[in-house]
Amino acid sequence: MAKPDIDTPYPLTPAQIAQFRREGFIKLKHVLSPEAIEYYAKVITPEVFRLNTMHLPIEQRTTYNKAFLQVGNIWTKNETVKEFCWSQRLARLAAELLGVRGVRMYHDQALYKEAGGGITPWHADQYYWPLSSAQSVTAWIPLQAVTQEMGPLAFSIGSHQFEAGRELAISDESEALIGRSLKDRNYPLNDTPFDLGEVSFHYGWTFHRAGPNTTKTPRAVMTIIYMDEDMRLIEPNTKAREGDRAYIAPDVEVGAVLNGKMTPVIYHAT
């Protein structure tokens, strides 16, 4: 099978960019071809299961661990996965949506919601990240079409501007408290399925969740987290952020640009 194109620019419109910044997320159709998804999924999926360290039966896990098998920084372990994570199409989309000249990769992360996997509770990703600004974005890249029954990512529209609940890790508590706060303030929900090749982008502070996977097929998703190329490392103020700093930026000083070995520039506009 010929190597598929994942680098040609995807044409974003000013209206789409404005929508992303207003709503805190956007879902874009036909970002990746079926051939590209098939080509890279054949490599990513075996790597996820090879590197996975969670082997407890689902019924014995915490709510967090029932949500998905989670494997990060796969790009450092496989050249084909690295090639996927270096996709210029995806990185350019991230930069244009954020309105920055270039983006670094913060990390990649596979999120495979197993058959029978539980909910992903309400949360905001940037709770975990010691970053100096809100100029971060997660690309959520399904490796198949995601039906409602598989637990597609669901977004609280406009919630990147809502600060209550940002101090909560993914948990039963975050599901209850953030869900109630968003409902009380009438934030709309987008929980529509994903077509094959559809990719979403959401700000680090956009609240989101996912339902359970009630099918017999794993929901295979790869994510890539991008940040402004000028992002700086802040002093970690939680154990979660301390862990991320040790994992992703051990060679970066607090206050410095995140230009370490693990956080390379992926795209820069010429």
Q: Rg for the chain (alpha carbons), in Å?
A: 17
Backbone angles phi, psi at 63, to 5 degrees: -55, -40
Q: Angle CA(132)–CA(234)–CA(171) in degrees, nearest 5?
A: 85
Report the phi/psi class of residue 175: left, alpha or beta, with left for phi > 0 and alpha for psi in -120 to 50: alpha
Nearest to 190 by CA among 20, 13, 35: 20
CB neighbour list of residue 32: distance below 8 Å, 6 or more residues apart:
6, 89, 141, 197, 199
Residue 219: what residue type?
R
Chain centre distance of CA 168: 18
| Percent composition of the chain: helix, strand, coil (DSSP 3-state, to 5) | 35, 25, 45
Per-residue confidence of the chain (270 residues) as pLDDT tens digits? 679 999 999 999 999 999 999 999 999 999 999 999 999 999 999 999 999 988 888 888 888 777 778 999 999 999 999 999 999 999 999 999 999 999 999 999 999 999 999 999 999 999 999 999 999 999 999 999 999 999 999 999 999 999 999 999 999 999 999 999 999 999 999 999 999 999 999 999 999 999 999 999 999 999 999 999 999 999 999 999 999 999 999 999 999 999 999 999 999 998
From first CA to last CA, the distance across the chain in angstroms is 32
Q: What does the block give as tokens for 38? A: 């098939």
Q: What does the block give as tokens for 218? A: 């794993």
What pLDDT shows up at residue 65? Answer: 74
What pLDDT shows up at residue 1? Answer: 66
Q: Is the pTM of this model over 0.85?
A: yes
Backbone angles phi, psi at 181, to 5 degrees: -60, -45
Q: How far apart are CA 27 and CA 140, in angstroms?
A: 9
Other beta carbons within 10 angstroms of residue 135's beta carbon come to: 20
Determine the topology of domain 14-229 in CATH.
Answer: Jelly Rolls (2.60.120)
